[in-house]
A and B are shown apart, each in its own frame.
Chain A
Amino acid sequence: MVPVTWYLWLAAVLFTIGLSGLLLKRNALIVMMCVELMLNAANLTFLAFARQFQDVGGHAIAFFVIAVAAAEAAVGLAVVIAVFRTRGAINVDEVRALRE
């Protein structure tokens, strides 16, 4: 049996890659992809513990995470389209109307 910590390590590394990309990338689309990566890392943690404790409740939570991620992608991409249409840019550094 593969120990549960291996799965947790993989999830931690995936989350760190996603967070690094979130902070490094300026393209709003790739930033959202990195958010999806982080959500997947959280899912992997839920499933690893569900397997360890033999509780299907973790699978139900992963199901909800997938649903929320789909909703987030739909609304987020709509926002990206709207911003691109009015400002002609999807660079997250150039969208700062709330800061000024």
Chain B
Amino acid sequence: MDTLAILGTAEGATFALFAVFTVATAVGVVITRSPVYAAMNLVGSFFFLAGIYVLLAAHLIAFMQILVYAGAVMVLFLFVIMLLSLGDEHLGRGPRRAMQWVGVLGAVGLLSVVAAAVGRVQDEMPALSSPRTFGTVKAVGQKLFTEFLLPFEVTSLLLLVAIVGAVVVAKERI
């Protein structure tokens, strides 16, 4: 199918809508000056990306994206922004150095490398053999508690260490 025919389907049109808004809000994170605006753009980006996840039949991950990212992590960011209550002198104005633009050039170079890799990927997207179960809590949970049991338990340890570490670091003086 050519591009226009895919865009004409409901799935293609939904993808295009969510993709455009995801990229637009992601660009908003980078070009805005104020951290609050950046955080708001990032919340929008997470929401639209969750829509893309639903298109990929990743229902549980889409739900967690909104719950954990757009909920918990972004509230944490906003808390810190409000806590620091930065004035204008902290917004990181001032001339950018040439090295930074060289870095952005490198980022675009990386994009071209990834583009070459994407060009070699098999393009077909087969229909799901079990559309009623793929990506549901049950399917992902079964995978997590059998094949990925050790990483799952290590993740709980990691979160415990992160909690203790965050308390210790935020308390003491560096």
Residues of A with Cβ closer than 8 Å to B? 1-10, 12-21, 23-27, 29-30, 32-34, 36-37, 40, 43-44, 47-48, 50-52, 54, 56-57, 59-60, 62-64, 66-75, 77-86, 89-91
Task: Identify the interface centre among B26, B57, B103, B119: most chain A CB within 10 Å of its CB.
Answer: B26
Q: Report the minimum CB–CB distance from A53 to chain B (whole Å).
A: 9
Do the beta carbons of A24 and B169 come within 8 Å of each other?
no
A33 near B68 with CB under 8 A, answer no
| B residues in contact with A20, CB < 8 Å | 30, 103-104, 107-108
- The 10 nearest A-B residue pairs measured at CB: A23-B103, A26-B92, A71-B162, A21-B30, A78-B170, A19-B107, A78-B166, A27-B92, A78-B169, A1-B125
| Set of chain A residues within 8 Å of B69, measured between Cβ atoms | 36, 40, 66, 69
What chain B residues lie within 8 Å of A3 (beta carbons)?
6, 123-125
B68 contact set on A, CB distance < 8 A: 66, 70
Chain B residues touching A, range: 35 or more
Q: A2, B6: Cβ atoms under 8 Å?
A: yes
* Smallest beta-carbon distance B39→chain A, Å: 7
Secondary structure at the B interface, as helix, strand, loop or mixed, is: helix
Once the chains are docked, how many angstroms separate the CA of A49 from the CA of B63?
A: 19
Q: Is the CB of A73 within 8 A of B46?
A: no
Contact of A5 with B118 at beta-carbon distance under 8 Å, contacts A30-B38, A67-B158 already known:
yes
Chain B residues contacting A66 (CB-CB under 8 Å) are 61, 64-65, 68-69
Q: Which chain B residues lie closer than 8 Å to A27 at the CB level?
A: 35, 90-92
What's the nearest-Cβ distance from chain A to residue B11, in Å? 6
Residue in A closest to B28 when the chains form the complex, CB atoms: A17
Whether A51 and B58, one on each chain, are in contact in the complex, defined by CB atoms closer than 8 angstroms, is yes
Q: State how many angstroms separate the Cβ of B162 from the closest Cβ of chain A.
A: 4
CA distance A70 to B72 in the complex (A): 8
| A24 and B58 within 8 A (CB) | no
Evaluate contact between B170 and A82: CB separation under 8 angstroms.
yes
Tell me, in angstroms, the Cα distance from A23 to B77 when the chains sit together: 20
Please report the C-alpha to C-alpha distance between residue A68 and residue B158 in the assembled complex, in whole angstroms: 8
CA distance A73 to B58 in the complex (A): 23
